Structure 1
Amino acid sequence: MTTKLKYVADSEVTLSELMLPSHANFNNKIHGGYLLSLLDQIAFACASKHSGEYCVTASVDTVDFLNPIEIGELLTLKASVNYVGNSSMVIGIRVESENIRTGKVKHCNSSYITMVAVNETGKPVKIPGLYLTSENEIRRFVKSLKRIEMKHHRREEFHELDFTAKDHIDKLKKYRVEIFLT
């Protein structure tokens, strides 16, 4: 059975929201946890739109907080499918904030979230592939492949290494720690 292909643009989602005092932390900047919630929501919407299925978050692969978001700014999140596997998708999200008085826009966050399409029993289901129609879409797909490869390598490396304290204490001497084993 062949699953159809979809264009990246067919699943793109944009979400804009005015940042309120209730979204702020104790430093009067928008709380990172609130932004993470918005990232998960837009990743779900984008992935579900692409797959036509209910989607769950498999991993939050990258969240780079680049600039603080101020109360009163208009926050805009733009999500697109950057990569598709059999049932999984990497959703790339760009977050910008705009000072609505001055019009100044700043890039605040870039994130990559892996979503998996599932059926009513929670089992992964096959999703449509992607038509890549621009150099930018190809670049995003290839960069997703590289991040996936690095994630698999990291899992293997940490799985294979034995992290007993005795074997690694010498490596800690150049860091600002003191060790008191009991």
Structure 2
Amino acid sequence: MPQPKHAEDSLTVMTEMVLPNDTNTLNNLMGGRLLHWMDIAAAIAAQKHSNRTVVTASVDNVSFSEPIKLGNIVTMKAQVTRAFNSSMEVFIEVWAEDIPAGIRVSTNRAFYTFVAVDQSGRPIEVPQVIPDNEEEQARFDSALRRRQLRLVLAGRMKPQEATELRALLAAD
């Protein structure tokens, strides 16, 4: 089994400028372009954690809360929250910044799941995650519930097998 790694070791910060070719007819960043950038930043975090090639397995709900305008600087911060056998959950946050106006707003958050693969494309074991602060611990603790929900929604786990979800629903 690979040696566990600290969550912070996977921290990836990526910055892009919104150029005319990135925008729609309203001069806002196209959603697909943002998802592309988010996927890259999250994949880099997963690669840093696993030291392996990774493939995107799933993307949780991505809501677009604020438009990102032409000329804005987009900053994405991604970090592995928890690792399972060969998969890793990555949390990513996105901010848009209008530097001349001094305005910075949070625009998106999402969880991506990646699977580490060997040279043949087969899943391979990844290191466990060591959370080092309260925020990392909270994301680590809730990751199993999110994983079970993903698996149930994908039809890869029966709802009655989702022990973390049952415990959460029974607590209410």
TM-score class, shorter: 0.7 to 0.9
Find the counterpart in structure 1 of residue 123 from structure 2: 124
Find the counterpart in structure 2 of residue 12 from structure 1: 11
Calculate percent identity across the aligned residue pairs: 35
CA distance in 2, matches of 1:40, 1:134: 25
CA distance in 1, matches of 2:142, 2:102: 31
CA deviations on 1:72-127 (whole Å, 9 max, x unpaired) are 11100000001110110011100001111022110011011100000010101111
Q: 2:136 aligned with 1:140, yes or no?
A: no
- Measured after TM superposition, the shift of residue 140 of structure 1 is 0.8
CA deviations on 1:14-66 (whole Å, 9 max, x unpaired) are 00111111100122110000001101111111101110000000111221211
Q: Name stretches of at least 5 consecutive residues in structure 2 with no aligned partner.
A: 160-172
How many residues are matched? Answer: 159
For 1:5-154, list aligned pairs within 5 A.
5-154=4-153
Q: Secondary structure at the match of 2:62?
A: strand
Counterpart residue identity of residue 26, structure 2? N
CA distance in 1, matches of 2:67, 2:141: 29
Q: Secondary structure at the match of 2:82?
A: strand
Question: Is the 1:19–1:30 Cα contact (8 Å) retained in structure 2?
Answer: yes
State which structure, 1 or 2, has the greater radius of gyration over its C-alpha atoms: 1
CA distance in 1, matches of 2:112, 2:151: 15
CA distance in 1, matches of 2:55, 2:154: 21
- Measured after TM superposition, the shift of residue 142 of structure 1 is 2.1
CA distance in 2, matches of 1:155, 1:87: 17
Q: Normalising by the residue count of structure 2, what TM-score does the alignment of the two structures yield?
A: 0.86
RMSD: 1.9
Counterpart residue identity of residue 128, structure 2? G
Q: Normalising by the residue count of structure 1, what TM-score does the alignment of the two structures yield?
A: 0.82
CA deviations on 1:136-168 (whole Å, 9 max, x unpaired) are 0111112222212222333459x89xxxxxxxx
CA distance in 1, matches of 2:98, 2:59: 28
CA distance in 2, matches of 1:116, 1:155: 16
Q: Secondary structure at the match of 1:147?
A: helix
| CA distance 1:62–1:142, change in 2 (3 Å) | farther
Q: Secondary structure at the match of 1:63?
A: coil
